[in-house]
Amino acid sequence: MRTGLYPGTFDPLTLGHIDIIRRACTMVDRLYIGVAINADKGPLFSLEERVAMVEDNCASIGQDTGVEIITHPFENLLIQCAEDVGASMIIRGLRAVSDFEYEFQMVGMNRAMNSSIETVFLMADAEYQSIASKLVKEIKRLGGDITTFVSADVAAALEQKLG
Ligand code: ADP
């Protein structure tokens, strides 16, 4: 039984995240989606709203792939969270070079704390690679169309908050 942990803030969940989740499901039997509470990052959506987005959008992926997908809010250290859920791998999405430096440091430090948990990097499909939650919010705030970046329910939630 392979268990993975895909952590993030998901503020909000985008089609980029969903693409990574689908890919992660080809590698594990059980996937925890770690939703970081991250109160100091000042998320637009509450933890409950972010968890609901993940649950609503991942139910069908779980059914399609047969992978058990479990949403798991967490506030502690990522490596601690991985240990708590029994994950043997942490899954991260990698976009252009901008993500690399931070992720490189994270792997080094996480490995120093627990060398038996591997970090696996996945790239989204080309059409989703440039999507970032932060930019989606900025575009929406400025009145742009974000419907090609997020699912319909997330677009509706953004409309309610920022429309
Ligand atoms: P964090 O606060 O950890 O950066 P995010 O919710 O922004 O959380 O992202 C969670 C993970 O998903 C990160 O590994 C991030 O690099 C990855 N990710 C986000 N958007 C994309 C995308 N469009 N393509 C590939 N990976 C992505």
Kind plus residue range of the DSSP H or E element containing 34: strand 30-36
Do 57 and 95 meet the contact criterion of CB atoms below 8 Å apart?
no
Domain ranges of the chain: 3-162
Task: Return phi, psi of residue 53, to 5°.
Answer: -60, -45
DSSP letter at 150 equals: S
Bridge partner list, 35: 8, 73
Atom index in ligand 1 nearest the CA of residue 128 equals 23
Give 74-96 pLDDT, tens digit per residue.
Answer: 999 999 999 999 999 999 999 98
Q: Which CATH architecture has domain 3-162?
A: 3-Layer(aba) Sandwich (3.40)
Residues marked active site are found at 17, 41, 95, 133
pTM of the model: 0.96
Q: Specify the pLDDT at position 56.
A: 97
Measured between alpha carbons, how far is 160 from 157 in angstroms, rounded to an integer? 5
Q: Quick check: CB of 22 below 6 Å from ligand 1?
A: no
**pLDDT tens for each residue of 21-35:** 999 999 999 999 999
